[in-house]
Amino acid sequence: MTVGRTPAVVQNSGQVLPAGHDPANLGDILERVLDRGIVIAGDIRVSLLDIELLTLKLRLVIASVDTARQIGIDWWEHDPWLSSRARPPVEPGPHDPEEVEAARRPRVAGRSERAAREEWDEYDG
């Protein structure tokens, strides 16, 4: 728990990152392109509600699919809402109690979503 004098600067240029990209980086990008940016009516209707539901799920799931798999979170692969292709099940990795706790939550997606929404409300503003 060292706190550096100056914080780490994480460059955001996703396109130059190698294959094993920084997972936080993708999360930051998704958060921005889905949640922010100007909303101009297009001809193809992807409703805002669709996008909001998607971000809601994504926030819960992950942006880093690999990280989530490593800690045993893979429920979206069995969730018809999120999964449009089947992926092989993942070998469960070593779990610490907190991660197990975190992994248990998303199985009850609805409850988890409500909880997350409350959490954002609390921090929003």
Partner 1 sequence: MSTTADRTSAAALDTGVWLHGVVAEADPATLAGITGIAGTPVRTVAAAGLVAVVSDAPLTEYGEEALRRNLEDLAWLERAARSHHAVVDALSRAGAVVPARLATVYRDDDRAARALVERRDELTATLARLTGREEWGVKGYVVPGATPRVEEPAGGGGAGAAYLRRRRAQLSAREEGQRIAADAAAAVHTALAGCAVAARRHAPQDRRLSGAPTAMVLNGAYLIDRDGLDAFSALIGALADRHPEIRLELTGPWPPYSFVAEPEPHPVRGAA
Count of residues in contact with partner 1, rule CB under 8 A: 66
Tell me, what amino acid is at 25?
N
The vertex-60 CA angle with 58 and 64, nearest 5°, equals 60
50 makes contact with partner 1 (CB under 8 A) = yes
Q: Which of 18, 19, 38, 88 binds partner 1 (CB under 8 A)?
A: 38
Q: Which of 45, 49, 86, 110 binds partner 1 (CB under 8 A)?
A: 45
94-123 positions binding partner 1, by CB under 8 A: 102, 116, 119-120, 123
In this structure, are residues 116 and 61 in contact, taking their beta carbons and an 8 Å threshold? no
In this structure, are residues 124 and 92 in contact, taking their beta carbons and an 8 Å threshold? no
Please identify, using beta-carbon distances, which residue of 42 and 94 lies nearer to partner 1.
Answer: 42
CA distance 118 to 74: 24
What's the token pair of residue 28? Answer: 């930051």
Instruction: Return residues touching partner 1 (CB under 8 A).
Output: 1, 3-15, 22-24, 26-46, 50-51, 54, 58-65, 67-68, 71, 73, 76, 81-85, 102, 116, 119-120, 123-125
